[in-house]
Amino acid sequence: MAKKAAKKTATKTASKTTAKKAAPKKAATTKKAASSKSAAGGGFMKELGISDALAAVIGAKPLPRTEVTKKLWAYIKKHGLQDAKNKREINADDKLKQVFGKNKVNMFEMTKLVSKHLK
């Protein structure tokens, strides 16, 4: 009887180890599929057209959404447009008022307002 019990536990542990080994292979194939999708040029890296109002701030060249945000932050920091007391707020100058449509914008609200200017 001891042999039967040992045999059952040996097969259980063997099946568990094979199940663990199979899982990483499946994850690797999903990573390949995800990387091939991003390489196709969609999503965040897709270059978008820029409106005239936004072009006055960051330039007229088509850029991905991530680069538009980076250039906006560079413009905001260069011109000192962050609120001194609350760094999450941006005080718009004349050029940014055209883009945002208001004098003060929360930094989380900024990307929503800018998306209207991307084609």
Same domain, 104 and 54: yes
pLDDT value for 41: 60
Same domain, 77 and 95: yes
Q: Containing domain of residue 6, as a range?
A: 2-40
> Per the structure, how many domains does the chain have?
2
Same domain, 36 and 50: no
pLDDT value for 36: 46
Same domain, 109 and 51: yes
Angle at 88 between CA 80 and CA 71, to 5 degrees: 55
**In a structure prediction context, what are the per-residue pLDDT tens digits for the chain, which is 119 residues long?**
666 666 566 655 555 555 555 555 555 555 554 544 444 566 778 999 999 999 999 999 999 999 999 999 999 999 999 999 999 999 999 999 999 999 999 999 998 999 999 98
N-to-C CA span, the chain: 74
Same domain, 78 and 102: yes
pLDDT value for 75: 96
Angle at 99 between CA 104 and CA 118, to 5 degrees: 135
User: What DSSP element (H or E) covers 5?
Assistant: helix 2-39
Provide the 3-class DSSP secondary structure of residue 87.
coil
Q: From residue 114, how far is each of 5, 52, 117 by CA, in Å?
A: 67, 12, 5
Same domain, 69 and 111: yes
Same domain, 49 and 61: yes
